[in-house]
A = this chain, B = another copy of it.
Amino acid sequence: MTYETIGNHILADFWGVDFDKLNDIEFLKKEMAAAAEASGAKIVAVQGKAFKPIGATVLILLSESHLSIHTYPEKGYAAVDGFTCGEKVAPEKAISHLMGVLDPEKAFMKKVVRGTGELEITPLNME
Contact = CB atoms under 8 A, between A and B. Distances in A.
Chain A facing B: main interface SS: strand
A34 interface: no
B79 A11 contact: no
A65 interface: yes
Contacts of A5: 72, 75, 77, 79
A66 B65 contact: no
B110 A79 contact: no
A61 B61 contact: no
Contacts of A118: 108
A79 B115 contact: yes
Interface stretch (A23-31, A47-55, A97-105): A47-55
A59 B54 contact: no
Contact of A70 (B45, B85, B110, B119): B85
